[in-house]
């Protein structure tokens, strides 16, 4: 009972010290510098848009003079007043809309960059898990061969095998030790690559769960009709440029109201003034409208080109994904037959002295080569899969 309790505690502790892919992605969304930067930009644009929608401050002006209209009268004259600028309601409305759409476009572009980072993390997580699985399999093979070598070493002492056979086994054991170090380094490198993308201290001391890697399958549903973040960003850019175009339809951009009190030597006056720009006296508005129209057309063509490029890339990646799946299926079938049908016969033959040590060693190497090739095919599959996710801007 006590042993069962300790096993349960150990299992819970082990689970607590491992990280799933979802946990890593949640941490990224809240703590990664790129995520925090995007949040800061959102707050900045929110404040900036509030500034644009606010009215301009009231202006105050004053002036004074010394006047002497005739020989009998002289003295100081002064005036004080206030001035308020008002934007044309249509111009203000479209200016606010343009700024809002432009900021939305920028934020969506940043979110697109972050989505690419998330897919890189997903891929590197899978790569490291494959490397870990690879070295675990290799370790089992290595330990099994090491046990065999120790048994054969005893056989040599009793004169049951030749010096040549023992030397062949010893050289193979040394080769396996060196190869094991190589695979250990591969695990470390892929782990470091993942850390270089995560950039958060929580990751350093924890192992990956690896129980949540995606199953290799050929039946993956993709929603090609869904617009990517890049397309959504361009939509907002187009809307912003349309608002820029619309704001130049107003007969004037703004007007100013002025009220002042003038104290002169022989009179006191209250004056009210109105100032309106005469847009028809210049071609600025027409040229600005033309610029906005051409920029909008450019953004529309950019979106059209992006959609065609995404569709082309997605189609090529889907075909590549199918090829990777077929390669994995074929490799699995070959490996299963080799491991479960051929290797038992070879091991039995070697144990009975029917096959030489060289034949046995070559068969072991061929078996491991098949496993290594399967790992390569799996890595290729996941690289293609997450490239496709990035192109289509979809999540798992």
User: Distance from first CA to last CA of the chain, Å, rounded?
Assistant: 42
**pLDDT above 70 (res 251):** yes
pLDDT for the residue 160 = 86
Q: Is the dihedral of CA 294, 300, 301, 303 positive or negative?
A: positive
pLDDT for the residue 1 = 46
Label residue 395 by pLDDT band (50, 70, 90).
Answer: low
The residue ranking higher by pLDDT, 69 or 305, is 305
pLDDT for the residue 10 = 45
25-41: per-residue pLDDT in tens? 999 999 999 999 999 99
| Domain assignment of residue 12, yes or no | no
| Domain assignment of residue 14, yes or no | no
**pLDDT above 50 (res 211):** yes
8 A C-beta contact, residue 245 and residue 293: yes
Q: Which two tokens stand for residue 376?
A: 């390569």
pLDDT for the residue 7 = 47
Whole-angstrom Cα distance, residue 254 to residue 277? 7
Domain with 153 in it: what CATH number? 1.20.1600.10
| Domain assignment of residue 72, yes or no | no
| Domain assignment of residue 4, yes or no | no
Range of the domain at 107: 19-57+88-251+283-392
> What one-character DSSP code corresponds to residue 216?
P
Whole-angstrom Cα distance, residue 269 to residue 261? 6
Beta bridge partners of 388: none
Tell me the average pLDDT of the chain: 88
**Given the structure tokens 């790129």, which residue do they identify?**
34
pLDDT for the residue 37 = 94
CA 324 to chain centre: 24
| Domain assignment of residue 375, yes or no | yes
Q: Is the dihedral of CA 389, 392, 395, 396 positive or negative?
A: negative
Percent of the chain with pLDDT over 90: 61
Rounded to two decimals, the pTM is 0.85
Q: How many domains does the chain have?
A: 1
Whole-angstrom Cα distance, residue 49 to residue 43? 10
**pLDDT above 90 (res 267):** no
3-class secondary-structure state, position 210: coil
Q: Could you tell me which of 145, 214, 192 has the C-alpha nearest to residue 382?
A: 214
| Domain assignment of residue 170, yes or no | yes
Label residue 221 by pLDDT band (50, 70, 90).
Answer: confident
| Domain assignment of residue 235, yes or no | yes
**pLDDT above 90 (res 249):** no
| Domain assignment of residue 136, yes or no | yes
308-326: per-residue pLDDT in tens? 999 999 999 999 999 999 9
């Amino acid at each position: 009972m006590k042993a069962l309790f300790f096993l349960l505690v150990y299992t819970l502790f082990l689970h607590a010290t491992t990280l799933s892919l979802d946990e890593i992605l949640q941490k990224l969304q809240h703590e990664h510098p790129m995520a925090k930067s995007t949040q800061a930009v959102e707050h900045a644009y929110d404040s900036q848009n509030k500034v644009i929608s606010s009215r301009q401050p009231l202006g105050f002006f004053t002036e004074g003079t010394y006047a002497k209209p005739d020989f009998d009268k002289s003295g100081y004259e002064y005036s004080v007043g206030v001035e308020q600028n008002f934007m044309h309601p249509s111009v203000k409305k479209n200016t606010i809309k343009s700024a809002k759409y432009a900021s939305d476009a920028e934020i969506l572009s940043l979110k697109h960059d972050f989505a690419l980072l998330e897919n890189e993390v997903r891929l590197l997580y899978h790569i490291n898990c494959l490397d870990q699985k690879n070295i675990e399999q290799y370790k089992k093979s290595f330990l099994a061969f090491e046990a065999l070598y120790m048994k054969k070493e005893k056989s040599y002492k009793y004169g049951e095998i030749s010096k040549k056979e023992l030397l062949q086994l010893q050289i193979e054991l040394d080769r396996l030790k060196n190869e094991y170090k190589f695979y250990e380094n591969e695990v470390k490198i892929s782990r470091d690559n993942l850390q270089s993308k995560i950039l958060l201290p929580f990751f350093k001391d924890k192992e990956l769960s690896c129980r949540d890697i995606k199953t290799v399958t050929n039946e993956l549903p993709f929603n090609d009709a869904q617009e990517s973040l890049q397309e959504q960003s361009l939509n907002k850019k187009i809307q912003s440029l349309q608002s820029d175009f619309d704001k130049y339809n107003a007969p004037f951009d703004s007007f100013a109201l002025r009220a002042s009190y003038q104290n002169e030597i022989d009179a006191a006056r209250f004056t009210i003034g109105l100032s309106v720009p005469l847009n028809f006296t210049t071609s600025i508005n027409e040229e600005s409208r033309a610029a906005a129209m051409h920029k909008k057309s450019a953004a529309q063509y950019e979106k059209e080109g992006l959609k065609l490029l995404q569709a082309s890339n997605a189609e090529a990646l889907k075909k590549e994904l199918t090829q990777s799946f077929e390669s994995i299926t074929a490799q699995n079938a070959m490996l299963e037959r080799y491991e479960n049908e051929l290797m038992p016969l070879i091991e039995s033959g070697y144990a009975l002295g029917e096959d030489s040590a060289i034949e046995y060693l070559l068969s072991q190497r061929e078996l491991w080569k098949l496993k290594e090739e399967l790992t390569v095919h799996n890595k290729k599959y996941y690289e293609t899969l997450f490239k496709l996710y990035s192109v289509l801007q979809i999540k798992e």
